[in-house]
Structures are given as C-alpha cells and as structure tokens.
Amino acid sequence: MPTPTRLAPVRIVRVAAAPLFGESPKGGWSNEIRPEDSIHALIAIHTDAGITGYGSVFTDGRLAQAGLKVLEPLLIGENALEPERVTEKLHQNTFWMGRGGTLTHTISGIDIAMWDILGKATGLPVSQLLGGNYRTKVKPYCSLLMEEPALMRDVVAGYHAKGFRAFKIGWGPFGRAHDTRLDEAIVRAAREGIGADSQLFVDAGASDAHWPHGLKWAMRTAEMLKDYNVGWFEEALKPDAIDDYCDLRRASPVPIAGGEVLTRRQSFMPWLSRGAFDIIQPDVTKVGGISEQRRIVWMAQDHGIRYVGHGWNTALGVAADLQMAAAFPGVDLVEFIGGSPYVDGILAEPFVLDENGDLTIPDKPGLGVEIDRDKLAKYTPDPGIF
C-alpha cells in the first residue's frame, strides 16, 4: 500500500485588508450608507508556499485594517492549513478586548481565507473539506430594499426578468412610516411584480437604529404577510428581545427568521435552545468565519431549526456561502444582494443564473472563484495586496 502524502505546513507570511469604497449599496438604514462609505473589506493571506487565500468581512474596511494590527502577531508564521485551530487561537487570545465586535468580524475574513488556502493546497473545494457535498446547485434569493409600491413592483419585476425566482425585500420605509396600509401595499406590489410562483421573503430590519415597534406590531404584521404567501418574516423585533421572539414564533402564521447581528457560536446558544427562530441566519463574514458558522449550523440542525445564511456581502462572501450551502443537509437558498458591484463586478467569472434561477456551486479548489484585480481596482485604493 503506498504511503499517503503528507502536506508540509504552509506558513502565513503576510495578511492585508482592502476596504471597498465608491459603490457601497444603500442599506435602507436610518443613517443611510453613502457610496463613499466602507461597509465591506476583502482579506488576503499570503504564504511561503506561494498560495494566497481570500476572505470577506462585513464591516468598515478601516476597522478590519485596525483589527489586523492586533491579530498579526498571533497569525504570522502560523500554518494556514489549520484554519479551525488558528482561528480559535485568535479568539482565545483576544477575549479581553471584547468578543463579537471588530476583532471577531476581522477573524471571519481571516478564517475564510485560510479555508481557501487549505482547499487550494489540497486541490479540493471547501465544501468537500467540510465533509461532503449535498448538492451542486442552490437557489439565490435576490435581496432588495423596500421601495414605495409602484417602484417596488418595477424593481422586483426587473430582477425577475433577469432570472431570479426567489426574492427578499426589506428595510426602507417598511414599518418606519407607521403606516400599516403602506406596509401591505409594498408587499402586495412585490408579489404582483414577481408573480405567484416565485418565493417572497420580508425583512423588517428591526436591528436598525431606534426601531419603533414591538411584539404586537410584529404579530399583526405576520398575519398580513401570510396573505401574500411570504416564506419568512425576518428581523421583526429588536435583536435583543429574545422573549418576544419566542412569543412571536409560537404565534406567527409565517416562519420567523433572524440572527444576523449575533456573532460567535456561544451567542446563538440561547436563541437555539429556547426556540426563538424557525430559521437561523448567521453571517459567515461576521460570525467568526466558516469554522464558527459550521458549528452554529450543526447546532441548529440538532434543534430542528432551518439554516439560511445571511449574505449581504461581497462576491467572496457569496462564494463562502455557496460552499457552505453545499456542505449541509436541507439548505436550499443563499442570499444574493441585487445590483451590488462588490458582488457582480470583482470576479474574473461572475456568478450566472441558470435557466431555473439557480447558481452552480463552484467545484474548483478552495472557494472556487478568482478575483479580477483590474475590476477590483475601481473599488479599493490598494488592490496590489491581492
């Protein structure tokens, strides 16, 4: 029997963050994002083997750069082929600086990049490294801002014409105008724009600053949403209102989703054990990366709670979401922000919908995608780090 080949350590020699500027999409937030704001960053990890891995962070890129200054001494010289051990080392040695904020977000991008390196070193896609592939395709839901009804209908119809067959509308005026008739008119317009056969989800965006509503509003709104065959009601309540979420889930005729603002697996435990959600939505670019998210997903599976990752991110974040969608049972959707240049405009081969509105999950080594440096140069001052 031949002796198995053992991989030599692949040492990290440099790590850098590239903030993205210039085309940041609107978020529908009270304090609206401006195009020149940075809300995303890309991470590049360079190794002594000449392999470079890439990751994505959902935070201001300048915060990610500051986070790297803290994390670099713990990271340089480490074996990039051991993402879970190295990532846990970063968590364990930075607890005293606060858990779940900038450092955790930055660690997320580092972890994704190390999984990318591990895949490239072994010749395997990340999904296979996570234990196997349950599927080769998955349906992206087009994530769009709420608009006034007439515009809402036109916007979703336009993306339906591009081939999307699942949609999420959220934030914007929904719930903030204190007009339940407007809320319903927006949802009705979206349903009319995509037709009866497409999936529709609604995101109230109650993690926005000074969210004005509570449990009773959420219950009444859930009743309205069922009339439009809405597949889930997301972020219906303030993100710390766990008791109200438990009550809402028991009473709501539509599934309740949330969890995008939680970070670290420990933060998810009470929400899972108490049954606060029908659908859990961790964000791999915030929660601690693939190493952390895989643990959350399996915990959710054990509690009978569905997993749909939060993916309001970049093309590298989508790539990580796709790899994870392949690696777990029962995953049928990934989030895909509509019209963001940071998703559509930075890859050598952009994502393309098939005739059924599905995305093929990349099966090349690592995350399975390649950055186009010339395209990336439009959105970051130093694309040379890649």
Cβ contact 102:66 at 8 Å: yes
Cβ contact 183:217 at 8 Å: no
What is the number of other CB atoms lying within 10 angstroms of the CB of residue 7?
Answer: 11
Separation of CA 127 from chain center:
16
Tokens of 304: 């009978």
- Which sequence positions are flagged as catalytic? 310
Give the integer Cα–Cα distance in Å for 277 and 258: 7
- Beta strands 41-47 and 12-19: pairing type? antiparallel
Q: In 191-280, where do the E strands start and end?
A: 199-203, 230-234, 256-258, 279-280
H helices, E strands: number in the chain: 13, 12
Can you give the length of the chain in residues?
386
Give the integer Cα–Cα distance in Å for 382 and 386: 9
Which residue matches tokens 């317009």? 189
Give the integer Cα–Cα distance in Å for 221 and 80: 47
Q: Which residues 6+ apart lie within 8 Å of 322 measured at CB? A: 138, 334, 359, 361, 362, 368
Give the integer Cα–Cα distance in Å for 83 and 75: 11
**41-69 b/e (C-beta count within 10 Å ≥ 16 → b):** bbbbbbbebebbbbbbbbbbbebbbebbe
Q: What is the DSSP string of 244-262?
A: HHHHHHHH-SS-EEE-TT-
Strand order in the sheet with 52-57: 12-19, 41-47, 52-57
Secondary structure class of 235 (helix, strand, coil): coil
